[in-house]
Amino acid sequence: MTSYLPENLRKHPAAIWAGFALVAIALAALPFVLSMAGLAWVRITNLAILFILLSLGLNIVVGFAGLLDLGYIAFYAVGAYVYALLASPHFGIHLPFWVILPIGAAVACLFGVMLGAPTLKLRGDYLAIVTLGFGEIVRIFLNNLSEPINITNGPKGISRIDSISLWGMDFGATTRFGNFAIDGLIKYYYLLLFILVIVIVINIRLQNSRIGRAWEAIREDELAARSMGINTIKLKLLAFAMGASFGGIAGGIFSSIQGFISPESFTLTESVMILAMVVLGGMGNIWGVIVGALLLSFVPEFLRYAVTPAQQFLFGRQIIEAEVLRMLLFGLAMVVMMLYRPAGLLPSAVRKREFAKASS
Amino acid sequence: MDIFLQQFINGLTLGCVYAVVALGYTMVYGIVQLINFAHGEVVMIGAMVAFSVIVALAGSGVPPLAIVILGVLAAVPACMAVGYTVERVAYRPLRHAPRLAPLITAIGVSIILQHVALLIWGRNYISFPQIIPTATYHFGASETSATITNIQIAIITLSIAMMVGLVTLIYKTRMGIAMRAVSQRPDVAGLMGISANGVISFTFVIGAALGAIAGVMIGSYYGIAHYQMGFLLGLKAFCAAVLGGIGNLAGAVLGGILIGLIEAFGAGYMGDLTNVCTLNKFLPGFAAMCEANNNMSVFGSSYKDVFAFVVLILVLVFRPQGLLGERVSDRA
């Protein structure tokens, strides 16, 4: 881990461990602090972590391998529906979480390969459109696969999805130790945090591996990469498959936290949001992507709490809905970042060089 | 046969609208190799502006045809302004940036335009005022024969007129020569005294004007407008442009009409073709299901939005240059 830290810190291992410990304590205490302001904030934090997971998955495709995927939400949807179908009264199947998770990841991965195989020969902008179309196709199918055999229950969605249960502990219910109650949302927070740490470690290891460097080479110059003996098709496919699996895992957890899913949750808007998070933070930089996802998850929530009352106070009525403002923010983030800071808030070193070279 | 002819007419009408929108994509792509994601939104704004003008004038005693023309006359400059601004602000500064950058700003612009429209016109479907009464003409003597409405005739005629106008502009005028020169080699065109930036702006503006008219056409055809109407329309038109061969004007028209026809026939016949009860003759075993409900289509007309994308994927896999396109070198 130490090689990703600044030079002056690397010489003081004790300081590093102290730093880690402080961050860990802060993260562990966070849900209790937040729940003082209301459990809604814990829920928002959980969703933010889900968005970080999704952004990290998309970052593999867009950031590492440089393939613009505009239908990423489709894999999230696949993961969510796999969980919902295998753990709800809809089919009467109730498999445990740790059985479904790999199935969800594998099915999403399969979809990633299905999408990638015919399209990866294409140039970047065509790929963007095809993935966009793929996202729409998946949503249209989810909406209509209720006839003649009811698989997805159509636009009505699937409800009463099981909450995750591990080692006899139900994540959907409140646990009590005497007077001390831990809400289900807080338990989910720890579970998500645990998965997030694993995903971050995988991402860091991946980025600096042989595969990660090959992706980077493909992104910079595909022809040169191929002449260096990199099997570009295979590696691009791998990027798609891995990104898709992370999306599938996040989808499964989303499904169990919400307890209800419908095709409405998986529109192009969500794909664009995740892309905006990756772009804002800095494509290809793991920490940048995390910052981007956090900013674009929390700022709109603060806006929701601040803008509506402020408008009521100033104008006596609501002029701009918070939801609209949120989407305008996503759009602006993408345009402004590309124009003024194309490598993102926390740019990866290589990306920075690439964009600087291009503009000179 | 009547149903076939009817689907053909509906498909042709829709195809003409797709073709006009696809021309906007293909012109811009031909000249700057950029997918203008915001083009669908320009179409939507065209429909919305025309809608506002038509509603404002509806009760004023002005003749209905004049009101519609005024609506179009308001929509075209509005869309031209949007097209110009988008190019100037979001695309021009990134002309030499990596490909990913303008693509991402294009998506951003598209989201911004959609939500600005939402702020102005609200999030509900608004019904396009039908101030010109619809007249229906039959193709045969019987009441069940295929029909064509005056709106459909107007859309088809207007589309053909615009296509002819565009071809004249590109192949017969000095501006057209400049556009073709810039699309081949912008830097050399610059050496010949052509303002490449000016020509590119002009291309965006013309594309936007076509988009505005397409917006009015689709609005009056369906009778409704919505702030998200441009998104799917734009995507399908893009599929049409790719099908015909992106950068190729005739290709965009051919692709647009083909997509329109595929959609109409697909929506019309898909349900019957995939009905398991019909399959029962060849694949017995569904009889029990069919007794309860005779309409057991696996893919009904609700899948009509899928066809354009399936066509797109097939084209990109088997003939990436499109039907009429030339083999393009990979300039990624």
- The domain limits of chain A are 1-36, 40-266
Considering only CB atoms, B306 lies closest to which of A129, A140, A338, namely A140
Does the pLDDT of residue B147 top 50, yes or no? yes
Tally C-beta pairs within 8 A across A and B: 141
Burial (CB count within 10 angstroms: exposed 0-12, middle 13-18, buried 19+), residue A287: middle
Among A159, A114, A106, smallest CA distance to A137 is for A114
Chain A residues with CB-CB distance to B87 below 8 A: none
| Torsion sign across C-alpha atoms A344, A345, A346, A347 | positive
What's the count of helices (H) and strands (E) in chain B, helices before strands?
A: 13, 4
Q: Which of B90, B300, B305 sits opposite A335 (nearest CB)?
A: B90
Residue A279 to residues A178, B101, B170, B211, Cα–Cα distance (Å): 46, 10, 38, 29
Cα distance between residue B330 and residue B327, in whole Å: 9
pLDDT over threshold 70, residue A353: no
pLDDT for the residue B104: 84
Cβ count near B198 (within 10 Å): 12
Contact B105 A222 (CB under 8 A): no
Question: Which amino acid is it at B229?
Answer: M
CA atoms within 13 Å, Cβ hemisphere of A318: 13
The per-residue pLDDT for A203 is 92
Minimal CA–CA distance to B155: which of B51, B19, B317? B19
**Tokens 């190019």 correspond to what residue?**
B87
pLDDT beyond 60 at B330? no
Which of B39, B41, B111, B118 to mutate against chain A (most A CBs within 10 Å)? B111
- Is the CB of residue A339 less than 8 Å away from at least one CB of chain B? yes
What's the gap in Å between the CA of B223 and the closest CA on chain A? 23
Query: Taking 80 as the threshold, does the pLDDT of residue B105 lie above it?
Result: yes
- Two tokens, residue B303: 């899948």
Q: Check residue A149 and give its pLDDT.
A: 72
What is the pLDDT confidence band of residue B291, given thresholds at 50, 70 and 90?
low
Residue predicted with more confidence, A155 or A198: A198
C-alpha distances in Å from residue B278, one per residue of A151, B266, B272: 22, 17, 8
Average the pLDDT over B308-328 and give the result.
79
Question: Using CA atoms in the order A110, A112, A117, A120, what is the torsion angle rounded to 10 degrees?
Answer: -170
Mean pLDDT in residue range B254-274: 86
Of B320, B297, B58, the closest CA to residue A126 belongs to: B320
- Which amino acid is present at A171? F
From the CA of A183, how many Å to the nearest CA of chain B?
Answer: 37
Q: Would you call B99 and A276 a contact, using CB atoms and an 8 Å cutoff?
A: no
CA–CA dist A68, A49 (Å, integer): 22
Q: What is the average pLDDT value for chain A, to the nearest integer?
A: 82
- Which of A112-116, A309-313, B293-297 shows the lowest per-residue confidence on average (mean pLDDT)? B293-297
Of B93, B100, B235, the CB nearest to A339: B93
Mean pLDDT of B102-126: 89
Domains, in order of start, for chain B? 2-130+145-318 (1.10.3470)
Q: Which helix (H) or strand (E) holds B174?
A: helix B174-184
pLDDT digits (tens, 9 = 90+) for B177-189: 999 899 888 888 8
Residue A80 is predicted with a pLDDT of 92
Q: What is the mean pLDDT of residues A28-38?
A: 75
Whether A328 and chain B come into contact, CB under 8 Å, resolves to: yes
Is the pLDDT at A5 greater than 70? The verdict is no
Span of A119-123, A149-153, A356-360, B205-209 with lowest mean pLDDT: A356-360
Determine, for residues B109 and A222 on separate chains, whether the beta-carbon distance falls below 8 Å.
no
- In angstroms, the separation between the Cα of residue B6 and the nearest Cα of chain A is 26
pLDDT at position A299 is 83
User: In the predicted model, is pLDDT for residue A323 greater than 90?
Assistant: no
Burial class (CB in 10 A: 0-12, 13-18, 19+), A329: buried
**H or E element that contains B305:** helix B304-318
Residues in contact with B237: Cβ distance below 8 Å, sequence separation at least 6, in sequence order: B18, B19, B21, B22, B24, B25, B39, B40, B256
CB-CB under 8 Å, A136 with B305:
yes
Section A238-243 average pLDDT? 92
Using the Cβ of A335 and the Cβ atoms of chain B, whether some distance falls under 8 Å is answered with yes
For the residues of B96-134, what is the DSSP string, one character each?
TS-THHHHHHHHHHHHHHHHHHHHHH-SS-EEPP--SPP
Give residue-wise pLDDT tens across range B33-92. 888 889 999 999 999 999 899 888 887 778 888 888 999 999 999 999 999 999 998 899
Name the percent of chain B lying above pLDDT 90: 36
**pLDDT band for position A129 (cuts 50, 70, 90):** confident
Q: Which residues in chain A touch residue B313, judged by CB atoms under 8 angstroms apart?
A: 118-119, 130, 133-134
**What confidence score (pLDDT) does residue A172 get?**
66
Q: Would you call A287 an interface residue with chain B, using a CB distance cutoff of 8 Å?
A: no
Q: Mean of the pLDDT values across residues B254-271?
A: 88
The answer to whether residue A146 neighbours chain B at the CB level (below 8 Å) is no
The mean pLDDT value for A136-152 works out to: 81
Which one is predicted more confidently, A122 or A57?
A: A57
- Asked whether residue B257 carries a pLDDT value surpassing 90, the answer given is yes
Residue A109 has pLDDT above 80, yes or no: yes
Sign for the pseudo-dihedral over CA of A197, A198, A200, A205: positive
Cis, bond preceding A148 (omega within 30 deg of 0): yes
Identify the helix (H) or strand (E) that includes residue A165: strand A165-166
Q: Mean pLDDT over residues A278-303, rounded?
A: 86
- Tracing tokens 């790999």 back to the chain, one arrives at A102
- Residue owning tokens 């929701």: A304
| Residues A41-85: tens digit of each pLDDT | 888 888 999 999 999 999 999 888 888 888 899 999 999 999 988
> Residue B329 has what pLDDT?
43
To the nearest whole Å, the CA of B246 is away from the closest chain A CA by 11
Contact between A144 and B298 using a beta-carbon 8 Å cutoff: no
Closest by alpha carbon to B268, among B234, B296, B303, B235?
A: B303
Residues of chain A contacting B242 with CB distance shorter than 8 Å: 126, 129
What pLDDT sits at residue B96? Answer: 82
Distance of CA B73 to the CA centre of its chain: 19
pLDDT confidence bin for A1, thresholds 50/70/90 = very low
Contact status of A37 with chain B (Cβ, < 8 Å): no
Per-residue pLDDT at B107 exceeds 50? yes
pLDDT-based confidence at residue A148 (cuts at 50, 70, 90): low
DSSP state of A343: T
Write down the H helix ranges in chain A: 7-10, 13-36, 39-59, 73-86, 97-119, 124-144, 184-207, 210-220, 222-227, 232-258, 268-281, 286-315, 322-340, 349-359
A317 contacts chain B (CB < 8 A): no
Contact B320 A339 (CB under 8 A): no
Q: For residue B289, what pLDDT is reported?
A: 62
How many CB atoms lie under 10 A from the CB of residue B218?
26
- Identify which has the larger pLDDT, B233 or A117: B233
Q: Do B332 and A222 touch (CB under 8 A)?
A: yes
For the stretch A216-223, contacts whose Cβ atoms lie closer than 8 Å and that sit 24 or more positions apart, written own/partner, are A216/A64, A216/A284, A216/A350, A218/A65, A218/A66, A219/A64, A219/A65, A219/A66, A219/A284, A220/A66, A220/A350, A220/A354, A222/B332
Reduce the DSSP state of residue A318 to 3 states and report it.
coil
CA-based torsion, B41, B43, B47, B50: positive or negative: positive
**B332 to A133: CB separation less than 8 angstroms, yes or no:** no
In A, minimum Cα distance to B97 occurs at: A358
